[in-house]
Amino acid sequence: MTQDELKQAVARAAIEYVPVGTVVGVGTGSTANYFIDELGKIKHKLDGAVASSEGSAQRLKKLGIEVLQLNDVTELPVYVDGADEITHHLAMIKGGGGALTREKIVAAVARKFVCIADQSKLVDVLGKFPLPIEVIPMARSYVAREIVKLGGQPALRQGFTTDNGNVILDVHNLTIMKPLELESALNQITGVVANGLFARRGADVLLLGSEKGVQTLTR
C-alpha cells in the first residue's frame, strides 16, 4: 500500500468515531483532507464541523458541510487530526501544516482526540521532525535566542504566515525525552503563541495505518 492509501484507510476508520447528530472537530493536513472527504459521504448525519484551519474550512464547505465557529459550539465529542510524529504514549509533534495553534484549541475543547496517521509517523522519541512554534512576528528574534538556550536550532519558515497572522519557527536538533516539560517551558517564552508539542493534551486514540491494516492504540 502507498502512504496515501494508508492515510485513506485511517481516514475511513475514523468515521466510526463520529457520533451521529453531532458537531465534529476537523484537523488540517493531507490525512485530515482524506477524513474530510469521508465526512462528505455522511454529511446528512452531521450537525456540522469546526475546522482547525481556513484550508480545512474551505474543503468542508465545498463538500456542503456546515462550518461552525468554535465559540458557537458547547460540545465537541470528537476531534480527528493527523500528526507529524506520535509516540506509543500518544504524545505528538504537530504543526507541519502550520495550523498548530487552532489545532491545539479545538483539541482542548474536544472530549476525544482521534489521531489518524500512517505508520511512518510512529516514533520512540519525538524530535526528528522539526518542532513548529507559532510566534508573534515582533518577538521572532527574541524567541529564537531563547530556544537556542534550550538546545534547539530554530529556523524561520520562509514565506509562511499562519491563519492568525503570525510566523513559524521550526526547531531542529531536539531529542525530546520529556515532552510535557518541554511543552511547558516553550509556553513560558514571551512571544510564543503555541508550540507543536501535544503532550499535555495528547491523542486518546491512534488509528495507525500499516501493511497489516488499521491498528488501534489507546492510552
| x-marked contacts with ligand 5RP along 98-137 as a string, rule CB under 6 A | xxx--x----------------------------------
Minimum separation from the CB atom of position 97 to ligand 5RP (A) = 3
Residues 132 and 100: beta-carbon distance below 8 Å: yes
By C-beta, is 47 or 54 nearer to ligand 5RP? 54
By C-beta, is 27 or 130 nearer to ligand 5RP? 27
Minimum separation from the CB atom of position 32 to ligand 5RP (A) = 6
Residues 93 and 197: beta-carbon distance below 8 Å: yes
Q: Please say if 103 is a catalytic residue.
A: yes
Minimum separation from the CB atom of position 68 to ligand 5RP (A) = 20
By C-beta, is 47 or 163 nearer to ligand 5RP? 163
Residues 20 and 45: beta-carbon distance below 8 Å: yes
Q: Scan residues 148-177 and list those touching ligand 5RP (CB under 6 A).
A: none
**Residue 97 interacting with ligand 5RP (CB under 6 A):** yes
Lookup: cell for 217? 492504540
Buried b (16+ CB within 10 A) or exposed e, 137-168: eebbeebbebbeeeebebeebeeeebbeebbb
Find the binder of ligand 5RP among 8, 55, 91, 94 (CB under 6 A). Answer: 94
Q: What does each C-alpha distance from 137 to 96, 113, 159, 172, 190 come to in angstroms?
A: 18, 30, 13, 19, 12
Exposed (0-12), middle (13-18) or buried (19+): which is 33, by Cβ within 10 Å?
buried
Which residues 6+ apart lie within 8 Å of 68 measured at CB?
23, 48, 49, 50
| x-marked contacts with ligand 5RP along 20-59 as a string, rule CB under 6 A | -------xxxxx----------------------------
- Residues found near ligand 5RP in the complex (CB under 6 A): 27-31, 81-84, 94-100, 103
Catalytic residues: 103
